[in-house]
Chain A
């Protein structure tokens, strides 16, 4: 057993070794493939813009994809000074393919006007000589152009149309906010590899007016995960603008990835308010510089610990809080019916249909839309009750953000419908709908009006109701009184006495009614079967006892045989057969005649479905009788008889 175990262990070990070897070979093949993929390098040069002044500093970035261990390639531009601004490396393993990228950054300061050119830069990467394309750029005297603030030469996405911002599409650079000047660049760059900058489209607004807040998350390393933290401020209501903008930007000579998010902020009260900082909980990944002096193979990456490649870090990154000067709405000229709404809105009202029959419904639709928040708009249907019955539907409010107008970014539309059932017929003029709002564009209160118009109500209206809307005027009290006689008479007392529902007692009663006969039937069934079951059990017991007795007799028969006393052996055999049948049938064994033995044995065999053994049984009984009384078979046959007795007795199967 021990040997077997050792053998199994050896076999398992050899299998494991085989699998490990196969994995190593597969890994080696993958490494070779990856290494060859890594060897296919590229080089590109990028200038942040192609036009600037003598006062400007251009950012030049040379990106090398592939393996490059050397220093920054020398760059010389006639007519400009070039200064190295650092290097950044990144490595990625995507879908089984390894790639690395090195970016060399340069600051280019022109010293002469005119068209300058970044020359082609040649590098030998993995034995292959690669070169960048020359990049021409124009330099004009200082102050002649307004430089775009650090947008890079990657053109940003075109500004979206007014309305909802599509997911993933980004708003354009905001005007009127805090621009990113070179001085700002250096201030921002001093914040480190990860920081957030927030910009408000305006910092001085009226209470209730909307302002756009743009938050930009800058990160020079890899941002693995980020969850924004929304700090609630009771004096502000904010609406997040769906979608985000992702781009790269060079700040202070370093290339940052930027995620730009927007939200609309509406202050609810006047005063010098502070908007809580925009913060995120971020998980960042910072690469660790690779050791120099390696073999140059991709396997160098795995020569140390896996964690040597970089480290993950949980950070909380927040912008600075933003100050906002919120001006109170002027008291001068404020109408008594001022709704509290601030913004530039349009009001419209319409009736449909304009011709109805008495009792029918016409729908008044009031629409208020424009720039500003409408979530606090009041119910606009006032004074309509005098016309008849009015049923107001829930107002439908939709809000969107128009990034093209960052000063007034929020667009709102509030539509409310009223079902109007005029109480009289004829030409009915629906009163004007009006609302007073404060318009910050003109710095004053404005009362908006809309005239729904006239509805013609024909007398003798339809009584057929419209689904979901009332159509029949409320009955007058005298009409109800008159109608009372039309009710059918009361029902008789007798019919009131019956019980409709089912109480617990009722369930019990019905259960008893249905269950008693079933239980009785079940009891009768058990009683009937019980006799059969008892008889069957009794017969089985007798058969078991008969088998035991037969087996007990067997030793006595053998002893008689060994002693040569054939007569005794035959007597015992005959007696055992008699007892066997007697026990089975419950009759006195010694009293059984040969005929009875045959009959009873056959009956037992018949019960046991062994009718084919009847002849055998009869012959056996007859032979034993013959042996015993010397009328048939000789005494020497008793051994055979004994075997036949034992053999046939096994046919009398008993229950286990």
Chain B
């Protein structure tokens, strides 16, 4: 009886936060989304379904500007942009969506389709990502989102805390006889608690690592841009055309340093490109 009582007490104090994860700001839902973002998304989707692309773009962009980061939002906005004839904008947004949800088939399909409409055809995947340790690591870490990594980490930590709490409550409340009865269980619980802590650390590290590996994608939005060899000079290395994807590596005044899929680097005017920061 005391065993059940002690577990109940432990569950009462330690398990309630664990259960709270279900309703707390988990990866699936955002309970804190305020009404303005919700209404913006509703309005944007409604406009898009009616074919009112400018209005849809306006609403979606406003939601993005409010700090709402969502792969599906980028996806829908990219669709609206593409249907407005803005291939470069659509490419940049789909690249950002893919960065958030690498395994989403819709995003990949639309990105492939939009990229096929561009002229330079330099690809949408970094050569360095296609193989090698870094590429594999990136694929593994990027297979789930940052939010999920933190969710797993917090869950593991909560589980570890719950198990430790159970052990302590049991040792305080159980009699010697009862303690001897459950003696074989205690090492298992202790091992599980230690493992949960270790898992929590691993998940947290994966989260931070995946955060570090997030790329800032962009694409050319002007019909043609000069790619300069330096941040300040006017020495043109080569030219790119609308829709060409790149990774923005740094900002230097009015120019953005870009890294093309084949590894070439250069600087372009920030006004000629769209860079999506995640």
Which residues of A are at the interface with B, using a C-beta cutoff of 8 A?
Answer: 389, 391-394, 465, 467-468, 470-475, 477, 479-480, 483-484, 486-488, 490-493, 495-503, 505-507, 509-522, 524-525, 527-528
* Whole-angstrom CA separation of A506 from B122 in the bound complex: 38
Indicate whether A501 sits within 8 Å of B278 (C-beta atoms), given known contacts A517-B158, A517-B165.
yes
* Other-chain residue from A473, A513, A524 in contact with B168 (beta carbon distance below 8 A): A524
* Whole-angstrom CA separation of A633 from B58 in the bound complex: 108
Contact at A394–B82, with CB atoms within 8 Å?
Answer: no
Contact at B14–A490, with CB atoms within 8 Å?
Answer: no
Contact at A514–B67, with CB atoms within 8 Å?
Answer: no
Interfacial chain B residues near A518, Cβ < 8 Å: 157-158, 160-161, 164
Shortest Cβ distance from A510 into B: residue = B154
* Whole-angstrom CA separation of A510 from B116 in the bound complex: 41
Interface string of B56-75 (1 = CB under 8 A from A): 00000000000111111101
Chain A nearest CB, measured from B92 CB (Å): 16
Interface string of B155-199 (1 = CB under 8 A from A): 111111111110111011000000000000000000000000000
A-B contact pairs, 18 of them (CB 8 A): A394-B236, A468-B262, A484-B83, A491-B75, A498-B29, A499-B32, A505-B32, A506-B25, A510-B153, A514-B156, A515-B157, A516-B161, A517-B14, A517-B157, A517-B162, A518-B161, A524-B169, A528-B171
10 more contacts with CB within 8 A, not counting A474-B241, A513-B20, A516-B161, are A392-B236, A394-B238, A468-B122, A488-B109, A491-B72, A493-B45, A496-B73, A513-B21, A514-B154, A527-B172
Interface string of B95-112 (1 = CB under 8 A from A): 000001100001001100
* Whole-angstrom CA separation of A96 from B229 in the bound complex: 54
Shortest Cβ distance from B15 into A: residue = A517
Contact at A510–B165, with CB atoms within 8 Å?
Answer: no
Contact at B70–A498, with CB atoms within 8 Å?
Answer: yes
Contact at A499–B161, with CB atoms within 8 Å?
Answer: no
Interface string of B20-61 (1 = CB under 8 A from A): 110011011110110000100110010011000000000000
* Other-chain residue from A472, A501, A513, A528 in contact with B146 (beta carbon distance below 8 A): A501
Contact at A496–B18, with CB atoms within 8 Å?
Answer: no
Contact at B25–A497, with CB atoms within 8 Å?
Answer: no
Contact at B72–A495, with CB atoms within 8 Å?
Answer: yes
Contact at B121–A499, with CB atoms within 8 Å?
Answer: no
Interfacial chain A residues near B79, Cβ < 8 Å: 487, 490
Interfacial chain A residues near B236, Cβ < 8 Å: 392, 394
Query: Closest 3 interchain pairs by CB?
Result: A517-B161, A514-B157, A521-B164
* Other-chain residue from B122, B147, B151, B264 in contact with A501 (beta carbon distance below 8 A): B147
A-B residue pair count with CB separations less than 8 angstroms: 197
* Whole-angstrom CA separation of A490 from B79 in the bound complex: 7
Chain A nearest CB, measured from B168 CB (Å): 4
Shortest Cβ distance from B163 into A: residue = A521
* Whole-angstrom CA separation of A536 from B212 in the bound complex: 50
* Whole-angstrom CA separation of A522 from B239 in the bound complex: 62
Contact at B151–A493, with CB atoms within 8 Å?
Answer: no
Q: Counting CB contacts under 8 A, is B76 at the interface?
A: yes
Q: Counting CB contacts under 8 A, is B217 at the interface?
A: no
Interfacial chain A residues near B253, Cβ < 8 Å: none
Q: Counting CB contacts under 8 A, is B252 at the interface?
A: no
- Chain A binding surface SS class: helix
Interfacial chain B residues near A467, Cβ < 8 Å: 122, 262
* Other-chain residue from A391, A496, A505, A512 in contact with B17 (beta carbon distance below 8 A): A512
Contact at B156–A493, with CB atoms within 8 Å?
Answer: no
User: Interface size class for chain B?
Assistant: 35 or more
Interfacial chain A residues near B121, Cβ < 8 Å: 465, 470-472
Indicate whether A498 sits within 8 Å of B153 (C-beta atoms), given known contacts A516-B158, A521-B14.
no
Shortest Cβ distance from A499 into B: residue = B30
Interface residues of B in 189-241 (CB under 8 A from A): 200, 229, 235-239, 241
Contact at A496–B41, with CB atoms within 8 Å?
Answer: yes
Interfacial chain B residues near A473, Cβ < 8 Å: 119
Q: Counting CB contacts under 8 A, is B8 at the interface?
A: no
Contact at A520–B161, with CB atoms within 8 Å?
Answer: yes
Contact at A474–B119, with CB atoms within 8 Å?
Answer: yes
* Other-chain residue from B45, B82, B156, B165 in contact with A520 (beta carbon distance below 8 A): B165
* Whole-angstrom CA separation of A498 from B79 in the bound complex: 19
Indicate whether A470 sits within 8 Å of B241 (C-beta atoms), given known contacts A501-B146, A524-B168.
yes
With a 10 A CB-CB cut-off, give which of B18, B27, B154, B171 has the most chain A CB atoms.
B154
Shortest Cβ distance from A488 into B: residue = B106
Interfacial chain A residues near B238, Cβ < 8 Å: 391-394
* Other-chain residue from A490, A511, A513 in contact with B76 (beta carbon distance below 8 A): A490
Contact at B25–A509, with CB atoms within 8 Å?
Answer: yes
Contact at B145–A500, with CB atoms within 8 Å?
Answer: yes
Contact at A484–B278, with CB atoms within 8 Å?
Answer: no
Contact at A490–B48, with CB atoms within 8 Å?
Answer: yes
Contact at A490–B33, with CB atoms within 8 Å?
Answer: no
Q: Counting CB contacts under 8 A, is B85 at the interface?
A: yes
Interfacial chain B residues near A516, Cβ < 8 Å: 14, 17, 158, 161
Interfacial chain B residues near A506, Cβ < 8 Å: 25, 147, 150
Indicate whether A524 sits within 8 Å of B145 (C-beta atoms), given known contacts A487-B83, A516-B161.
no
Contact at A499–B147, with CB atoms within 8 Å?
Answer: yes
Chain B nearest CB, measured from A253 CB (Å): 55
* Other-chain residue from B72, B158, B167, B229 in contact with A514 (beta carbon distance below 8 A): B158
Contact at B168–A499, with CB atoms within 8 Å?
Answer: no
With a 10 A CB-CB cut-off, give which of A394, A477, A524 has the most chain B CB atoms.
A524
Interfacial chain B residues near A391, Cβ < 8 Å: 238-239
